[in-house]
Structure 1
Amino acid sequence: MLQQLLETGLRQTMNRLVKPVLNPAVPVPLQRRIVSQAYRSSRPPRGARFEKAVVGGIPATRTTCGNNPHGAVLYLHGGGYIIGSSTTHRGITGHLAKSSGCTVVAPDYRLAPEHPFPAALDDAEACWSGLIEEGYRPEQIAVAGDSAGGGLTLALALRLRDKGLPLPASLTVFSPWVDLTQEHLYSPECEPVLQPAWTSKAARLYAGKEPLNTPLISPVFADLSGLPPLLIQVGSQEILLNDAERLASIAKRDVVQTRLEIFNNLWHVFQVHSGQLDRATAAMETVGEHIKGHLAG
């Protein structure tokens, strides 16, 4: 009963405080400031440690929780490629560090509209290369991300594959935004976080002069063959549900080991409530097992 009340309260909070800010009429700089404050409600676990770093020339936050971390997770934050940072996502990276037992590195990749595609992808690749230079082997690194960061996770893996480079041990995406054309958005009865008009504007700002169906912008239009094991988590109350389902279908078509988890009556990137909401905490524990299960020793 208490968890049901908490879910209701969090849903109402997202709908009343976050969704109105994610509006194309609100200037992007103001969105960044307000959302950075809203994310303070996403709390990392006790014992999580955060260190500012530069990895591969990219500013980043390095997160650990517990002693003797094993392996690394390159975490790519969401925000429609126009907002968000490694600081806003400390709740997620803290709980991910705890569940996976890894060091989590979240780069502050460049954002649109100041830096459209492929700036974010270039920075993600640079951070990946920086982890390799630090001594991690590719099979000791997982890549994960939420929303736009989920799309960026797929794009990074595709770029590495196409360059003939070794791939990460696994991929994990929360509520992935993988079709910026928005031609197949889901229409839930309740959507507490996202507005299609906002994601549409963010898509145009990020893509710049490139077509929205460019595979490295919208990975559902890519051949995913050869990618690492993929875990997809999504809520039923979000416009990106179809993105997640189509991604899973395409990945399975291309013989990628894929697991899709749909959480009924939860919303976009509900994992930000890990440590508060039991279902979010359990979802993050599943992610930790997925990552640990594929990391090399």
Structure 2
Amino acid sequence: MLQQVLEATLRTTMMRLVRPFLTPAVPVALQRTLITQAYRSSTPPRGCRFERDTISGVPATRSTFGENTNGAILYLHGGGYIIGSSSTHRGITGHLAKVSGCQVIVPDYRLAPEHPFPAALDDAETVYMALLEQGFQPGQIAVAGDSAGGGLSVALAMRLRDRQVPLPSSITVFSPWIDLTQQQLYSPEREPVLQAPWTEKAAKLYAGSESLTNPLISPAFGDLTNLPPLLIQVGSEEILLNDAERLASLAKRDDVQTTLEVFNSLWHVFQVHSGQLDRATDAIAAAGAHIKHHLAD
């Protein structure tokens, strides 16, 4: 009963404190400030540590919990490629560090419109390559991300594969945004977080002069062959539900080991409420299990 009340309260909070600011009418600079404040309700577990770092010129935050001896997770934050940071995602990455036993590296990749495609992808690749240079084996690295960071995670794996760079052990994506053309957005009865006009504007700002159908911008138009095992989690109350289901279908088409988990009555990147909402905590635990299962010994 208490969880049902909490779920309703969190949904209302998202609708009142997040969704109204995700509109083209609000300047991007103000969106960044407001979303930073909104994410203060997403809290990491006690005992989680955060260290600022610069990795091959890319600012980043390392999240650790306990010994973190199992490996590293390269986590790419969401925000439509125009907002968000390693600071806004301390809650979700802190919980992921706890359940996975890994250190979680969250780069502050460059954002549009100041830095359109391929800046974010370049920064993600730079950090991945730096982890290899630091001595991590590919099998000791997992890649994960939410929303735009989920699409970026898949795009990163595609680029690494095409450049014949050893791939990470697994990919985990929460509410991935994989089709920036928005041709097949889902229409839920309610959407507590996202607005289609906002994602449409963000897509244009990120793509810049590039086509939205570029597979490294919209992985839905790409070949996923030989990508690592993939876990996809998504809520049923979000316009990106189709993106997640299409990603799963495309991955299975290309013989990628794939698991899709749809959480009924939950919203976009609900995992930020891990530690508060039981279903969010369970989802993060499942993500941690997926990551640990595929890490090299």
Shorter-chain TM-score: which interval?
A: over 0.9
Partners of 2:154 and 2:219 within 8 A in 1: yes
Indicate whether 1:31 and 2:31 are aligned: yes
Runs of 4+ with deviation above 6 angstroms? none
With structure 1 as the length reference, what TM-score do the two structures score?
Answer: 0.99
Equivalent position of 1:275 in the other structure? 275
220-229 or 61-70, which deviates more: 61-70
Equivalent in the alignment of 2:210: 210
Q: Please give the alpha-carbon distance, in whole angstroms, between the structure 1 residues aligned to 2:171 and 2:162.
A: 16
Distance 2:222 2:133 in 1: 29
Helix, strand or coil at the partner of 2:203: helix
CA RMSD of aligned residues (A): 0.5
Which residue in 2 is equivalent to 1:41? 41
Q: Does 1:117 align with 2:111?
A: no
Write the deviation string for residues 133-191 of structure 1: whole angstroms up to 9, x where unpaired: 11101110000000000000000000000001100000000000000000000000010
Three-state SS of the structure 1 residue aligned to 2:205 is: helix
Q: In the alignment, what sits opposite 2:2? A: 2
Q: In structure 2, how many angstroms separate the alpha carbons of the residues matched to 1:100 and 1:93?
A: 10
1:244 is matched with 244
Do residues 191 (structure 1) and 199 (structure 2) align? no
Counterpart of 1:113, as a letter, is P
Deviation of 1:56 after TM superposition, in Å, equals: 2.4
Matched position secondary structure for 2:20 = coil
Which runs of structure 2 are paired with 1:68-79 in the superposition (5 Å)? Answer: 68-79=68-79
* Paired residues, number: 297
Match of 2:222 in 1: 222
1: distance between equivalents of 2:166 and 2:68?
25
| Identity within the alignment, % | 73
2-structure distance, mates of 1:6, 1:151:
29
CA distance in 2, matches of 1:53, 1:41: 24
Q: How far apart are 1:66 and its partner, in Å?
A: 1.1
Aligned to 1:20, the other structure's residue is in SS state: helix
Deviation at 1:69, TM superposition (A): 2.6
Give the drift of 1:68: 4.2
Where 1:181 maps in the other structure, the secondary structure is coil
Does 2:132 align with 1:132? yes
- Code of the residue aligned with 2:255 in structure 1: it is V
Q: Deviations over 1:9-48 (max 9, x none)?
A: 0000000110000011000000000000100000000110
> Any stretches of 5+ residues in structure 2 without a counterpart?
none
How far apart in 2 are the matches of 1:105 and 1:68?
A: 12
For 2:257, the equivalent position in structure 1 comes to 257
C-alpha distance in 2, partners of 1:234/1:68?
Answer: 27
- Structure 1 residue ranges without an equivalent (≥5): none
Deviations 1:263-293 (A, max 9, x none): 0000000000000000000000000000000
Amino acid across the alignment from 1:40: R
